[in-house]
Amino acid sequence: MNPQILFVDDDPDILSAFQRTLRKDFKIDVASGGQEALARCARPSPYSVVVADMQMPGMNGVEFLTELEKNFPDTVRIMLTGNADQKTAREAVNKGHIFRFLNKPCPPEDLLPALHAGLKQYQLITAERELLEKTLNGSVKVLNDILAIHDPLSFGRGQRLRDYMRAFAESLKLKQTWDLELAALLSQIGCVTVPQAVLDKARADRLLSPAETDMLARVPEIGANLLSHIPRLETVARIILYQHKNFDGSGFPNDRVAGEDIPVGARILRVLHDLEFHEARNVSKERALEKMSRAVGRYDPKVVEAVAAGFDICLTPAPDENVFHAVLLKDLHPGAVLKSPAHTKDGLTIAPASAEVTPILLQKLRNFAELDQLAEPILILG
């Protein structure tokens, strides 16, 4: 490890002293004020620890470290000041979430342990985040792959809803959309617990028994329960739970949540879900949205208006369906998009049209081919 520590002080002699004293143990950078320090922190390689003086012109230490936390939350913050009163210490800890508070002049026997502790804290923070991200990404991939294997049609619908959500978020110029896109992608994950015969029956618009109707109604709850056990997916789980909740409070789940108390992501997903449903039945977006705008109490009117205003503008153009070619399995690669369903020689659908070929889907197709059951060639767009 090559420790990266930044000292911020308006006294150049103090900064020079830090560099001389600590250069054998750490890589030291210096800045003469808060604004200069924030500019330095914007570099690609983040600082592990920042040590700031309290009394600086223009931007004092508390103001600087508070701003630092907003933009670089992982960086460990240490306050170094000659002002030893309790008010300054309390303000520094509460507003800047300071890791350590040291008094000037600070002898090496006090400063060095604080810096080593700060570096250890940074390692813990970044290691935990990396672990969570890997756990999160891995868990999502496993769930998505399971859905792709169990029910390719539900998997394909989740992919389309993710694309719809991404286009809608772009129309609103939203910066953080990962939770919305993930909720759309995994909105159908609860289908993994529903027997295939029941899913096929519902898609054929055949009469369902009360037990089957209740089973399908609880798909959002099942999906939410699956995701609620994965770190950082609590918000996504709540969006999925309320994805079929009507704006007036009716529908599943049967609780008192209604109107703007319903998670906004769920209100958006409710509109996009039904929009995709209508389009799958050859109803134009304009006609579908017009119909949905008249369904009083079912949708958030503001969301319907926003979708109508911006959805078509920002939706990524679909590939020209007239441009496609046939490939053999050996020439099929992840990332390709199916022009028509991939199916067995007996007509069993393995993956729906418009599905993106993922590594797990490709492996599934290979397994069918091993049993001499895969119908080839396969039609892909582009």
Q: Which pLDDT tens digit goes with each residue over 75-114?
A: 999 988 776 555 666 666 666 578 888 888 888 888 999 9
**pLDDT tens column, 189-225:** 999 899 989 998 998 889 999 999 999 999 999 999 9
Q: Where are the domains of the chain?
A: 4-128, 151-314, 324-381
In CATH, what number does 151-314 get?
Answer: 1.10.3210.10
Q: Are the CB atoms for 274 and 243 separated by under 8 Å?
A: no
Q: What are phi and psi of 183, to 5 degrees?
A: -60, -40
Element (H, E) at 160: helix 152-171
| Domain 4-128 and domain 324-381 have a common topology | no
- Please enumerate in sequence order all residues whose Cβ is within 8 A of that of 309, keeping only pairs 6 or more positions apart, or say none: 171
Q: Are the CB atoms for 7 and 51 separated by under 8 Å?
A: yes
In CATH, what number does 324-381 get?
Answer: 3.90.105.10
Roughly what angle, to the nearest 10 degrees, separates helices 12-22 and 108-150?
A: 80
> Mean pLDDT of successive 10-residue segments in the chain (382 residues)?
83 90 88 91 87 88 87 89 64 69 85 92 82 73 82 87 88 80 92 90 90 92 89 89 95 92 95 90 86 91 88 50 82 88 87 82 89 91 78
DSSP class of residue 246? -
DSSP class of residue 204? T
Count how many Cα atoms sit within 13 Å of the Cα of residue 55 in the half-sphere of its side chain. Answer: 7
Whether cis (ω within 30° of 0) applies to the bond prior to 334 is no
State how far Cα 326 lies from the chain centre: 35
**Architecture of domain 4-128 in this structure:** 3-Layer(aba) Sandwich (3.40)
Asked whether the whole model's pTM tops 0.85, one would answer no
